[in-house]
Amino acid sequence: MKRGALAWGVGVAALIVAVLGALAVGRFPIAPAQLWAILTGAETGTAAIVFWNIRAPRVGAAILVGASLAAAGAAFQGMFRNPLASPDLLGVSAGASLGAVLGIFLGLPVAAVQGLAFAGGIAAVAAVAALSATVRGQGDPVLVLILAGIALGALMGAAISLLKILADPYNQLPAITFWLLGTLSAATREDILAAAPAALLGLVVLMLLRWRLNLLTLGEDEARALGVNTTALRAFAVAGATLATAAVTALAGAVGWIGLVVPHMARMLGGPDLRRLIPLSALLGAAFLLAVDTLARVAGRTELPLGILTAVLGTPLFLWLLVRARRGGAA
């Protein structure tokens, strides 16, 4: 219980610091004191306009994206009993990327690119699930599912590469490359409102199932012997994680690293029980992506892609936690 309180404390504190930091830096800083005035309506000047129209949507987007990716990653790592699992294991990121790249290649408007990304992510996982269902009966259903995801992911990767070669190298290729590394620089309030319902629905599904998902970590036979319909439970959880991941990928692009590594940080802090791990991962993922996005805004003269910063900043942090946990025996 003490460990739980500490983990929650770290998570909440990290998010608060990240939010205040995100507001306080940038071309138009908003100090914590000013924030109170804006929230209560006492301040209605430029600061309030910047806050409501630019800063708050972007902070909200970063929180949504980080929380969704990290929670989906935690759920996947648990239910597939694999520490290397991430939300794109079954092809959702590859499918969303293919959809978005296709949209950019065809010169479609932003909303259509986002729609194609969302649909691509869902369609890829649906195809993987259908493929694995047809070959079921022989062998381990989890292994078949993962192999189908890897195979289809490779195929979609090839299609993305082809589109990159065919794309106009001066306008389309940079846009594609940027999208594939992830960014929130173009996210508007409308984009966020479009992505939020699907992402939140996916998160709610994972939150509601999170105790039962623990049972899948015991392995197929043990879970079924305990009375769990593993096929149905896994289908619900994959659907929830896919919905959340596809929605935020459509919003922010293919932001890597978070879904893979943040769940490990959360596990070091709070243990493997998914009842704690999924919400804690969401909290840490939100804080981390918000911090990274803030840096992306202010670090260079042009905005840096999120995918680069998550890895550059996250890896040392992760290694530090790893060394510390090994020494303390907490992991």
Partner 1 sequence: MTVLLEARGVSVGHGRRTVAAGISFALKTGQVLCLLGPNGGGKTTLLRTLLGLIPPLAGEVQLEAVPLAALSRREVAHRLAYVPQAAPGGFAYAAREVVAMGRAARLPLLAAPGARDHALAEAALDRLGISHLADRPVTELSGGERQLVLIARALVQDARCLVLDEPTASLDFGNQALVLREVRALAVRDGLAVLMTTHHPDHALLVADAAMLLHGGAMAGPMPPADLITPPRLRAAYGVDAVVGALTTPQGERLVCAPLVAPP
- Which residues form the interface with partner 1 (CB under 8 A)? 78, 138, 208-212, 214-215, 217-218, 221-222, 224-229, 271-273, 275
Please, which residue, 36 or 211, has the CB nearer to partner 1?
Answer: 211
Shortest separation between residue 208's beta carbon and partner 1, angstroms: 5
Please, which residue, 166 or 225, has the CB nearer to partner 1?
Answer: 225
Residues in the chain: 331
Task: Print burial letters for 253-266: b (CB count within 10 Å at least 16), e (below 16).
Answer: bbbbbbbbbbbbbb
At a CB cut-off of 8 Å and minimum separation 6, what does 59 contact? 19, 22, 23, 290
DSSP, collapsed to helix, strand or coil, labels residue 310 as: helix
Shortest separation between residue 145's beta carbon and partner 1, angstroms: 18
Shortest separation between residue 273's beta carbon and partner 1, angstroms: 6
Please, which residue, 188 or 214, has the CB nearer to partner 1?
Answer: 214
Please, which residue, 109 or 137, has the CB nearer to partner 1?
Answer: 137
Crossing angle of the two packed helices 141-166 and 110-134, in degrees rounded to 10 = 140
Maximum distance among all alpha carbons in the chain?
Answer: 66
Please, which residue, 86 or 310, has the CB nearer to partner 1?
Answer: 86
Shortest separation between residue 120's beta carbon and partner 1, angstroms: 30
Q: What is the CA radius of gyration of the chain?
A: 20
Shortest separation between residue 33's beta carbon and partner 1, angstroms: 41
Contact (CB, 8 A) for 240 and 73: no
> What is the Cα 194 distance to its own chain's centre?
16
Q: Which two tokens stand for residue 111?
A: 């909303």
Q: Work out the angle at residue 82's Cα, subtended by the Cα atoms of residues 78 and 83, and round it to the nearest 5 degrees.
A: 90
DSSP structural state of residue 226: T
Shortest separation between residue 179's beta carbon and partner 1, angstroms: 36
Please, which residue, 46 or 221, has the CB nearer to partner 1?
Answer: 221
